[in-house]
């Protein structure tokens, strides 16, 4: 819960965000690269989360949300939702969240159709986007070995390592992703974590910053 609280607080309060591209096309490519790693390593994808948010005036936000259909019934393990956080009299933060407890061609198509929809792209074109993939495996994995494998695959330059008992998080940069956030006078755009839960079960999470620690 402590890490969830930290992540949510950071997620809601961070105001400075660097982007080298305003196009959601780059973020679709990021999601595909995350997927590719898990597929190549033969790791089942048990959770996918993509979260976007943007500050807008209230009228525009309400108009946009009212015209968006969402899969809110968790059909096939997929849940989409829009929410708003009021900032002041005229501004709101619009948050879109896509979450799935698995990954399939159908799931991928639903997400891509959403992100590439012209109205959706226009509304979130200057927004902040975070995504992560997660795998739960019963195969015993050496956490240091997996961290090295992820680092090599994404060509990560490590900037920070959180090392707690049975839980490791690495933050860094990769040229394969195009978005950055500030961290300790540096910028990062990838985080990955290995959580050891006993009985040889490990949770591997890789994504853009913020969501990784939350999950």
Q: What is the pLDDT, as a whole number, of residue 138?
A: 82
**Mean pLDDT over residues 122-128, rounded?**
88
Lowest mean pLDDT, pick from 47-61, 93-107, 149-163, 195-209: 195-209
pTM, full prediction:
0.81
Which two tokens mark 208?
Answer: 């853009």
Residue 128 has pLDDT above 90, yes or no: no
Beta carbons within 8 Å of 111's beta carbon, 6+ residues apart: 31, 48, 50, 98, 100
Cβ atoms of residues 91 and 55 within 8 Å: yes
- Token pair recorded at residue 31: 């999601």
pLDDT for the residue numbered 77: 85
Confidence at residue 83, expressed as pLDDT on a 0 to 100 scale: 93
């Amino acid at each position: 819960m402590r890490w969830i609280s930290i992540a949510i607080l950071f997620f809601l309060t961070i105001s400075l965000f660097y982007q080298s591209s305003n196009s959601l096309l780059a973020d679709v490519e990021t999601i595909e690269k995350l997927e590719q790693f898990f597929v190549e390593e033969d790791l089942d994808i048990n959770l996918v989360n993509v979260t976007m948010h943007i500050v807008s005036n209230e009228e525009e936000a309400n108009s946009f949300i009212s015209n968006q259909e969402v899969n809110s019934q968790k059909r096939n393990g997929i849940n989409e939702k829009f929410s708003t956080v009021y900032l002041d009299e005229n501004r709101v933060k619009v948050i879109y969240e896509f979450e799935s407890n698995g990954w399939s061609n159908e799931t991928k198509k639903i997400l891509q159709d959403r992100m590439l929809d012209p109205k959706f792209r226009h509304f979130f074109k200057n927004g902040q986007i975070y995504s992560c993939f997660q795998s739960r495996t019963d195969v015993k994995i050496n956490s240091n070995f997996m961290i090295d494998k992820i680092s090599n695959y994404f060509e990560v330059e490590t900037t920070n390592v959180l090392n707690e008992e049975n839980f490791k998080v690495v933050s860094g940069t990769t040229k394969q992703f195009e978005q950055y956030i500030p961290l300790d006078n540096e910028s990062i755009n990838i985080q990955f974590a290995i959580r050891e839960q006993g009985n040889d079960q490990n949770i591997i999470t890789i994504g853009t910053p913020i969501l990784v620690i939350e999950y």
